[in-house]
Chains A and B, each alone.
Chain A
Amino acid sequence: MFVSAPDRRLARDLDPAALAALAALAERTRPVAASRTRLLPVLPALAGLLPDGALRRGSTLTVGRPGDDGALSVALSLVAAASASGSWCALVGHPSLGAVAAADLGVDLGRLALLPRPGAAWAEATATVLGGVDLVVLCPPFVPRPAMVRRLVARARERRAVLIVVPDRAGWPEPPDLQLRVDGATWEGVDAGRGHLRRRRMTVAVTGRRSAARPVRQQLWLPAPDGTAVAAGGPPDPAA
C-alpha cells in the first residue's frame, strides 16, 4: 500500500471519510497502464477463469484445440480490457481478422497492430513484437519447432509480455502456464430460416500449472447480442 510504516498510526487516526477520499484519489491518479504492474486486466466475464483474475505478465497461454469453434473470439476477449486501458497488442499470423467483432468485444483497434502474413518469418516477427508490446496473440502459420517455442516463451517472460497462442492445427509443443479450451459452443437466434444469429453460449475450461492446477469452467455468452463477452449462469465452478 501507499502508507509507509510510521504513517500507519496516522492512517488509523484519520476518519473513514478522509481515508475513502484518499483511496479514491489514489485510484484516480493511478497511471492507466503502469508498465511495472504485474497483472494486465481482463473483461469481468473472464476474470473468474484466471488464477489472479487477470493476465500475469510474462506468462504464456494457449486458447483452443484444433477444431474448437470460438477460440479466436476467446483470445480477442482476453486482449480487450488491456488494450482499452492503454496496453499495446499485436495479432501475428491471422490473415482474416473481423475487425468489427474485435472492436465490439472492446479491443482498441488503435492499439492493435496486425501482422497478418508473416510467412516463414513468423517466429522472428513474434519475438520482435514481444520486445515492445504488452500482449501478443499468435496463430502459428506453420508447425512450430520445440526450440523455437521455448525461445518465444522465454522472450515473453523476459520482456514481461503476455503470449496468447491460438494453436489451431499447427499445435504447440510446450505445456503453457494456462490452457484454455472451448468445451462446446451453441448458437442461439436462428431457426429454419427465421431470426438471425443473436448470441453464442460457450463453456470455457481452464487448466494450468502450479497455483492454477485446479481446473475451472465458466459459461460465457461470447458474443452476447451486442458483440461483447458476458458471463452466463452462476459463478465459475470447479470441474468435478
Chain B
Amino acid sequence: MDRLLVVRCPELLEEDEGGAVLRAFVGVIAAVGAYCPWVTPVRAGICSLPARGPARYFGGEDALAGLVRAATEEVTPAEVGIADGLFAAVLAARRDRIVPAGGTPAFLAPLPVATLGQDDLTGLLDRLGIRTLGGFAALPDPHVLGRFGADGAHAHRVAGGRSGELADLRRPRVAHLLADGVDGGSTVVEPGFWGGTNDADARAARCLAAAQELLGPDGVVTARLQGGRSPAERARFVTWTAGEPPQDGHPGTVRAAGSGAPWPGRIPAPSPAVVHPDPVRADLADVLGVPVRVSARGLLTTVPDRLSVEGGPWEPLSGWAGPWPSDERWWSRSRRRGARLQAVTVRGAHLLLVERGRWWVEATYG
C-alpha cells in the first residue's frame, strides 16, 4: 500500500452552487502541487498525494507535512495527515497525525466501527459485541466473507489496514469537474499521457482511470523490467499513475538499464510465467522421504524425488536441475545465502528456493 499524504480542508467539504468552493479547492491543489505533481482530488475539500518520494526530498514526513500545511493555509485552514492507504490517511488528517510506516493497523484498531460509514455493517457488528475496527479486523477472513459478503470482506481488509480504501470514499464527479478545469490548473487525468495521443490511447487512459476509481490507486499497476537475479527481482510493479511518462510505447525502452547485464547465478531463460509475490512453502524429499538439504558447499545432501507444495500431496519429480547457489548482499548484514532448483512434476515445472533449510516455490512455469 502506498504511503499517502492527505490534505483536508474543513471549510471546503460542502460544494456550493456558485462553484466558489471548488475554485478555492483548485487553489489548494495548485498550492500542494508545488511539492508533488501527482495530487489527486478525492472529493471536494480532500486531496491526496504519494508521500514517500516528496518526504525523502524535503527531509522527512514531518517536514513535508509542515510545508504542505503552510502552503495550504495561505488559501484555507487545513488538516494534514500521513498513513498507509487512503482510508487511514483521511482519518489521520482529521486528527492532524502522521502515522508511522507500518503503524496503520494499530492506528485504526481503537476507532469505532461506525468510522467505516456502513450502517448495516455497524449494526450487525454491534449486536455481535464488536465495537472497534481492531475487533472487526481480528475476525478470521473466511468467516467474514461467509457472514458479511464481499462488501463486508472488503471493509474487513480496510479495517485491518490491509487494503487502501473504501469504494465510496471517492467522489469521481469532483475529479471530473476538476479535470474539466474550473479555472484551469488541473492536475488530474490527462488522456493521452501514455505515449501517443490518439483515440485508442485516450480511451484506454479513461477506462484505466475509471478502474482506479473503482479499485483504488494500487488496483491498477504496470510492470517494469530491471536487472536482477531472481524472477521476482527482475520486474517491479508500479502504481499506474496519470501523468507519469510511459515507456514511450516502444518495446525496446521497457528494458531498463541493467536488465541486459550479466547477473551471475541467474537462472537461464526461459523465464517462469508465474512469479509468486509471496513464495509458497514447499517440501522436497528423496526416495526414502528424507528431506533434501543444501550443504555449505552448495551441494544437495540427497537426490530429490518428490515435491509437496503448501502441505499438499507428494508429487513425483519427472526431472530436476540445479542447484544454483545464490549469495545475495554478501557485503552486508542482511546477507542471504540460498540455492535455487528447477523441479518438474506432472502438474508443471517450478523454480524452488532453499534458504536456511526451508524450501519455497518462488515461481512456476505456468
Interface residues of A (CB under 8 A from B): 33, 35, 67, 69-73, 76, 84, 86-88, 90, 95-104, 106, 108-121, 124-125, 128-134, 185, 187, 189-200, 223-227
Q: Are A223 and B270 in contact (CB under 8 A)?
A: yes
Q: Tell me the residues in window 306-360 of chain B with beta carbons closer than 8 Å to chain A beta carbons.
A: 319-322, 342, 344, 347-349
Taken together as a complex, chains A and B put the C-alpha atoms of A126 and B352 apart, in Å, by: 33
From B249, which residue of chain A is reached at the shortest CB distance?
A: A110
From B207, which residue of chain A is reached at the shortest CB distance?
A: A132
Taken together as a complex, chains A and B put the C-alpha atoms of A73 and B205 apart, in Å, by: 26
From B300, which residue of chain A is reached at the shortest CB distance?
A: A193
The interface residues of chain B, by DSSP majority, are classed as mixed
From B223, which residue of chain A is reached at the shortest CB distance?
A: A99
Q: Which of B194, B276, B319 contacts A96 (CB 8 A)?
A: B276
Stretch at the interface among B92-100, B124-132, B208-216: B208-216
Q: Which of B151, B270, B272, B363 contacts A199 (CB 8 A)?
A: B270
B239 to chain A, nearest CB (A): 10
Q: Are A121 and B215 in contact (CB under 8 A)?
A: yes
Taken together as a complex, chains A and B put the C-alpha atoms of A189 and B318 apart, in Å, by: 12
Q: Are A114 and B237 in contact (CB under 8 A)?
A: yes
The number of inter-chain residue pairs (CB within 8 angstroms) is 204
Given A104-B270, A193-B320, A196-B267 in contact, is the A96-B275 Cβ separation under 8 Å? Answer: yes
Q: Are B220 and A115 in contact (CB under 8 A)?
A: yes
Point out the residues of chain A lying under 8 angstroms from B320, CB to CB: 190, 192-193
Q: Are A193 and B274 in contact (CB under 8 A)?
A: no
B55 in the interface, Cβ–Cβ < 8 Å? no
Which of the listed residues A67, A132, A200, A223 has the most CB atoms from chain B within 10 Å of its own CB?
A: A132
Q: Are B274 and A96 in contact (CB under 8 A)?
A: yes
Which of the listed residues B211, B231, B234, B240 has the most CB atoms from chain A within 10 Å of its own CB?
A: B211
Stretch at the interface among B14-22, B179-187, B196-204: B196-204
Q: Are B207 and A109 in contact (CB under 8 A)?
A: no
Q: Are B220 and A187 in contact (CB under 8 A)?
A: no
Q: Are A104 and B269 in contact (CB under 8 A)?
A: yes
Taken together as a complex, chains A and B put the C-alpha atoms of A223 and B349 apart, in Å, by: 12
Q: Are B225 and A109 in contact (CB under 8 A)?
A: yes
Point out the residues of chain B lying under 8 angstroms from A98, CB to CB: 231, 235, 271-275, 363, 366
Q: Can you list 12 A-B pairs with a CB-CB distance of less than 8 A?
A: A69-B347, A70-B348, A96-B275, A99-B275, A110-B222, A110-B247, A114-B220, A128-B207, A129-B207, A190-B321, A197-B365, A199-B270
Point out the residues of chain A lying under 8 angstroms from B201, CB to CB: 88
Q: Are B268 and A196 in contact (CB under 8 A)?
A: yes
Q: Tell me the residues in window 144-203 of chain B with beta carbons closer than 8 Å to chain A beta carbons.
A: 150-151, 153-154, 167, 194-195, 199-201, 203
From A33, which residue of chain B is reached at the shortest CB distance?
A: B200
Taken together as a complex, chains A and B put the C-alpha atoms of A192 and B255 apart, in Å, by: 34
Q: Which of B153, B200, B277 contacts A120 (CB 8 A)?
A: B153
Point out the residues of chain A lying under 8 angstroms from B344, CB to CB: 187, 190, 197
From A124, which residue of chain B is reached at the shortest CB distance?
A: B214
From B323, which residue of chain A is reached at the shortest CB distance?
A: A193
A168 to chain B, nearest CB (A): 10
B356 to chain A, nearest CB (A): 22
Point out the residues of chain B lying under 8 angstroms from A199, CB to CB: 270
B117 in the interface, Cβ–Cβ < 8 Å? no
Q: Are B365 and A119 in contact (CB under 8 A)?
A: no
B206 in the interface, Cβ–Cβ < 8 Å? yes
Point out the residues of chain B lying under 8 angstroms from A118, CB to CB: 215, 219
From B272, which residue of chain A is reached at the shortest CB distance?
A: A98
Which are the 7 A-B pairs with shortest beta-carbon distances?
A: A132-B207, A120-B150, A99-B235, A99-B223, A110-B247, A223-B270, A88-B204
Instruction: Beyond the given A87-B200, A110-B249, A119-B150, please list 8 additional residue pairs across the A-B interface where CB-CB is below 8 A.
Output: A35-B200, A69-B347, A100-B234, A110-B248, A113-B204, A113-B208, A120-B151, A128-B207
Q: Which of A133, A195, A226 contacts B204 (CB 8 A)?
A: A133
Given A73-B273, A96-B275, A112-B222 in contact, is the A121-B366 Cβ separation under 8 Å? Answer: no
Q: Are B274 and A72 in contact (CB under 8 A)?
A: yes
Q: Are A102 and B273 in contact (CB under 8 A)?
A: yes
Point out the residues of chain A lying under 8 angstroms from B205, CB to CB: 132
Point out the residues of chain B lying under 8 angstroms from A193, CB to CB: 300, 303, 320-322
Taken together as a complex, chains A and B put the C-alpha atoms of A192 and B210 apart, in Å, by: 51
B224 in the interface, Cβ–Cβ < 8 Å? yes
Q: Are A132 and B208 in contact (CB under 8 A)?
A: yes
Q: Are A112 and B199 in contact (CB under 8 A)?
A: no
Taken together as a complex, chains A and B put the C-alpha atoms of A119 and B225 apart, in Å, by: 26
Q: Are A227 and B211 in contact (CB under 8 A)?
A: no
Point out the residues of chain A lying under 8 angstroms from B237, CB to CB: 99, 114, 116
A196 to chain B, nearest CB (A): 5
Q: Are B154 and A120 in contact (CB under 8 A)?
A: yes
Q: Are B225 and A111 in contact (CB under 8 A)?
A: no
Given A69-B348, A113-B240, A115-B211 in contact, is the A96-B271 Cβ separation under 8 Å? Answer: no
B350 to chain A, nearest CB (A): 10
